Amino acid sequence: MLLRDIERVFDPWREFERIERELRRMEKEMDRLLAEVGFGVREEYPPVNLWTNEEGAIVTVELPGVEPEDVDITVVGRRLTLKGTRKPLASDGVRFHLRERWDGDFTRSIELPFRVEPAKVEAKYRNGILYITLPRAEEEKPKKITVQTS
């Protein structure tokens, strides 16, 4: 093999991370096999982070190497769904020495803590991260109640 890992010095953290990754990869492979025989796909790729304030939410998604036009974003009620494809590398006439990056179709659905205004949802893509800004539905915004003094 041309290129190989040289992090041979035993580092328990690294080792732990490696095992974790390996487990995720196996899980993914298992899901793929299950999907092939019609058992459905587990929703775990791509990973998402959720941020909120009183005005709304920001969902960030790790999508390196995915063309923004290959991602469908839909919002129904509180549910945000992402669908898309990460194209595999052209494999004609090449030999893989290492293959760790995921590819293929993905579907990811997450429940937001509040309803949002679907018409005002915005998305931008930068450096392989998708940022989705979801303004909170007007009727669900926290309201400040003025206490009247008599």
Partner 1 sequence: MARELAKRTAEPVRERAIRPDVDIIETDTEYHLYADLPGVSEDNLDVTLEKEVLTIKGKAEEEIPAGYNQRWAEYVTGWYERRLRITEEVDREGIKATLKNGVLKVVLPKAEAAKAKKIQIAHE
Among 23, 65, 76, 79, contact with partner 1 (rule: CB under 8 A): 65
- Report the C-alpha gap between 18 and 7 in whole angstroms: 11
User: Residue 77 or 88: which CB sits closer to partner 1?
Assistant: 88
Is residue 104 close enough to count as binding partner 1 by CB under 8 A? no
Is residue 60 close enough to count as binding partner 1 by CB under 8 A? yes
The reply to whether omega before 142 is within 30° of 0 (cis) is: no
- Report the C-alpha gap between 79 and 46 in whole angstroms: 16
Is residue 3 close enough to count as binding partner 1 by CB under 8 A? yes
Among 101, 109, 120, 141, contact with partner 1 (rule: CB under 8 A): 101
Among 35, 78, 123, 131, contact with partner 1 (rule: CB under 8 A): 131
73: closest CA among 106, 101, 31?
Answer: 106
Is residue 51 close enough to count as binding partner 1 by CB under 8 A? yes
Among 37, 38, 69, 127, contact with partner 1 (rule: CB under 8 A): 127
- Report the C-alpha gap between 74 and 129 in whole angstroms: 17
Among 38, 40, 53, 69, contact with partner 1 (rule: CB under 8 A): 53
Q: How many CB atoms lie within 10 A of CB 94?
A: 8
